[in-house]
Structures are given as structure tokens and as C-alpha cells.
Structure 1
């Protein structure tokens, strides 16, 4: 599985800690991590609004399978990611959140709080959240006897989101303020992840055209 880590300006200084814990869990499982958001406060400026755009491009281009994002509380990132087609983001504050999201909702993104509650033992909480988010049978249900209705409801949610967001993905991307999109895709690590792993040439071409303007 390919996993993108997206961090914005307010918590960029914590990127090395978050990335280390994610790699500690992901690499032994055979997953590949792409650190495509801000890696320090000196990196190009991103807000949680940009994170949603970045996540949507990577997910819709099938460049990554899963996104881990966040901000101070995690709430802004949650709302931003869930605005976009194809992105199903859950909120994660502790390991049980990650486990239940994996088992019940089986989405493709998580929003974490990197300031609220980020105190003593924060790196341990991150590690355990990543373990629960990245292991086990996705969509297995919890409790297991609730699997059938949970799977059904997840499918219904996807249908409702598709109905609400009727436009083609590229039309959706084009309808966003292009200065926001251009800022979101400026990072070299983001571009490398997208261009090397994208399975949708139209999305790749769109981003390349935008960057060339």
C-alpha cells in the first residue's frame, strides 16, 4: 500500500516525529510512505485547505492508496479532505478510533490532531494509531455480527457522495480557485509522488499544465 503523509504549516515542525512513527509501523508491513506535505516550517506554506486538494489529487489519480493528514485539532483537515470526490476521511484521536475506522468505515484517509492532546507520550499514541489503522482486515466490522449492515451503509455513503458531487473529477478540480490548487501541487515531493505513481494520465496532465502556466 502507498501512503501519503500530509502536514500543514501550524504543525510542520512535528513532521519528523510523525514521519518516524509512521515509517516504524508501515515499512515492516511492506507499505511505502510518501512525505508530501510540509516537512518543516521552512517548507512552502500549506494550510489544511491545501491538504484536501492534495489528498484528492493523489487518491483520484491512484498515486496512493491511503492518506494520513492533520492539523492542530484535526478537524480542519477532516472537513477539507471530505469535501472532495473519492476521499473518505475519518477522525482519529486515539488507537481505538483508528481500529474502529479501519474495521467499520474502511475509508482511505485519516485526519489527526497534531496539537490538541499532543503531549507526553504523543509518539506512542501515534505509533499505536498507525498500527491499528494499517493492520487487520479492513471493513471486517465491529462487532463482527454487525459487518453486513456496516458494509452496506459504507456503500450507501459512497453512492450519496457520488450523487452530491455529480461533476467529473477534473471539472471539480477546475472549479476550485486555481491559485489554491497551484499552491497545493508546488512541492517537489508531492510532484514526484504523483508523477511517478499516478494511474490517471488526465489528472497528471492537468497538474503538469497548471504548473507550466
Structure 2
């Protein structure tokens, strides 16, 4: 599985800590991690609004299978990701949140609070969240006897979102301020992940064309 880590400006200084824990868990599962957001406070400047655009492009282009993101409270990134088609983002403060999201909602992104409660032992909490998010089979339900309605409801929710967002995916990108999208896709590591791992040629071509303008 390909996992993207993307962090914005307010929490960029914590990227190295979060990346280390994610890479450690991913290595155990033989997953690949792509650090596509800000790596420090001097990196390509991003806000949580850019994170939603980035996540949607990588997921819809099938460059990655899962996105780990967040902001100070985690709420802004959560809302930013969930407005886009093809993205189902959960809110995660502790390992139980990560486990229950993976088993009940079975989405493709998590938003963490990288400032709220991020004190002594924070790296351990992050590590345990990643272990619960990526260990074992997903969508098994919790408790197990509730699996059938939980899987059914998760599927219905996805259908409702698809019905509400009627446009072609690229049409949704075209409707956004092009300078906002251009900033979102402007990072070198993001481009490397998309262009080398992406499987949707149309999305990749559109991003390349935008970058040339």
C-alpha cells in the first residue's frame, strides 16, 4: 500500500517526528510512505486547504491508497479533505479512533491534531495510532456482530457522496481557483509521487498542463 503524509505550515516543524513513526509502522507492513507535504517551516508553503486538493488528486489518480494528514486541531484538514470526491477522511485523536475508523468506516484518509494535546509522549500516541490504522484487515466491523450493517452504511454513504458530487472529477478541479490548485501541486515531492505512482493518465496530464501555465 502507498501512504502519503502531508502536513501544512502551522505544524510543519513536527513533520520529522510524525514521518519517523509512520515509516516505522509502514516498514512492518511493507507499505511505502511518500512525504508530500511540508517537511519543515521553510518548505513549499501549504495550508490545510491545499491538503484537501493534494489528497484528492493523489487518491483519484491512484498514486496512493491512503493519506495521513492533519493540522493544529485536525478539524480544518478533515473538512478540507472531505469536500472532495473520492476522499473519505476520519478524525483521529487516539489509537481507538484509528482502529474504529479502519474497521467501521474503512475510509482512505485520517486527519490528526498535531497541536492539540501534542505534548510529552506525543510520538508514542502517533505511533500507536498508525499501528491501529494499518494493522490487519480493514472493514471487519466492531463489534464483529455489527459488521454487516456497518459495511452497508459505509457503502451507502459513499453512494450519497457520489450522487451529490455529480461532475467529472477534473471538472471539480477546474472549478477551483487555478492559483490555489497550482500551489497545492507545486511541491517537488508531491509531483514525484503523482507522476511516478499515479495510474490515471488524464489527471496526470491535467496537472502537468497546469504547472506549465
Q: CA deviation at 1:99?
A: 0.3
Deviations 1:120-171 (A, max 9, x none): 1000000000000001210000000000000000010000000110000000
CA distance in 1, matches of 2:189, 2:61: 16
Unpaired runs of at least 5, structure 1: none
Instruction: Give TM-score scaled by structure 1 length.
Output: 1.00
Structure 1 consecutive aligned stretches of length 4 or more whose deviation exceeds 3 Å = none
Residue equivalent to 1:53: 53
Partner SS, residue 179 of structure 1? helix
CA distance in 2, matches of 1:29, 1:136: 9
1:135 aligns with 2:115: no
Unpaired runs of at least 5, structure 2: none
CA distance in 1, matches of 2:181, 2:72: 22
CA distance in 2, matches of 1:27, 1:185: 27
Partner SS, residue 118 of structure 2? coil
1:123 aligns with 2:123: yes
Deviations 1:2-56 (A, max 9, x none): 0000000000000000000000111121000000000000001100000000000
Deviations 1:86-124 (A, max 9, x none): 000000000000000011000000000000000010000
Residue equivalent to 1:164: 164
